[in-house]
C-alpha cells in the first residue's frame, strides 16, 4: 500500500502534464499582455485554458483540475479587465493567503490540512491521518 500511496503522490506533485497545464495560461497572459492589450491577452489566456480542457480527455486525463484551472483563469481575466494587468495575479495572491490561513487553522485545530487536500485531490479517506 505504501508504494501505491507514494506513486499517487509522485503523480500529483511531479506530474509534468499537470504543471504544464497550470503554467500555460499565465504565460499566455504575460506574453500576450506584452504584445497586445490587456483584454486581448485575458481572452487568449482563457482560450488556452479551454484548449487544455479540450485536449485532456484525448490523453485520458481527468478534467477536474483543468476545470478548476479554467475557473481560476476566468476570475483572473475578469479581475484584469476591471483592474488592469496587475489584476491577473490578485486571485492567486488571495488564494495563497487563504491557503495559509486554512493551514494555520488546521494546525490550531489539530486536524491536518493535508488530509482534506488528499481527500479532494486523490479521493483518499479522511480517516487516514
Contact call for residues 64 and 12 (beta carbons, < 8 A): no
Give a three-class secondary structure readout of 3-61: HHHHHHHHHHHHCHHHHHHHHHHHHHHHHHHHHCCHHHHHHHHHHHHHHHHHHCHHHCC
What pLDDT is stored for residue 1 in this prediction? 46
Tell me, rounded to whole angstroms, the distance of Cα 68 from its chain centroid.
Answer: 6
| Confidence tier at 33 by pLDDT (50, 70, 90) | confident
| Confidence tier at 4 by pLDDT (50, 70, 90) | low
Can you give the residue ranges of every domain in the chain? 2-128
Per-residue model confidence as pLDDT tens digits over 80-109: 888 877 777 788 888 899 989 988 998 898
Closest CA to 92 of 71, 106, 112: 71
Contact call for residues 77 and 46 (beta carbons, < 8 A): yes
Q: Residue 42 to residues 61, 91, 104: CA-CA distances in angstroms?
A: 25, 14, 33
Closest CA to 72 of 38, 48, 54: 48
Range among 28-37, 66-75, 95-104 rated most confident: 95-104
**pTM, 2 dp:** 0.58
Per-residue model confidence as pLDDT tens digits over 5-32: 555 555 555 455 566 777 788 888 888 8
Amino acid at each position: 500500500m505504501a508504494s501505491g500511496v507514494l506513486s499517487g503522490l509522485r503523480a500529483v506533485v511531479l506530474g509534468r502534464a499537470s504543471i504544464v497545464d497550470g503554467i500555460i495560461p499565465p504565460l499566455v497572459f504575460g506574453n500576450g499582455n506584452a504584445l497586445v492589450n490587456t483584454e486581448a491577452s485575458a481572452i487568449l489566456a482563457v482560450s488556452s485554458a479551454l484548449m487544455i480542457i479540450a485536449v485532456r480527455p484525448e490523453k485520458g486525463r481527468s478534467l477536474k483540475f483543468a476545470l478548476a484551472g479554467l475557473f481560476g483563469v476566468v476570475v483572473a481575466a475578469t479581475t484584469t479587465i476591471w483592474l488592469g494587468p496587475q489584476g491577473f495575479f490578485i486571485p492567486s495572491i488571495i488564494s495563497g493567503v487563504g491557503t495559509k490561513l486554512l493551514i494555520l487553522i488546521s494546525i490550531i485545530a489539530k486536524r491536518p490540512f493535508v488530509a482534506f487536500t488528499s481527500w479532494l485531490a486523490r479521493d483518499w479517506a479522511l480517516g487516514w491521518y
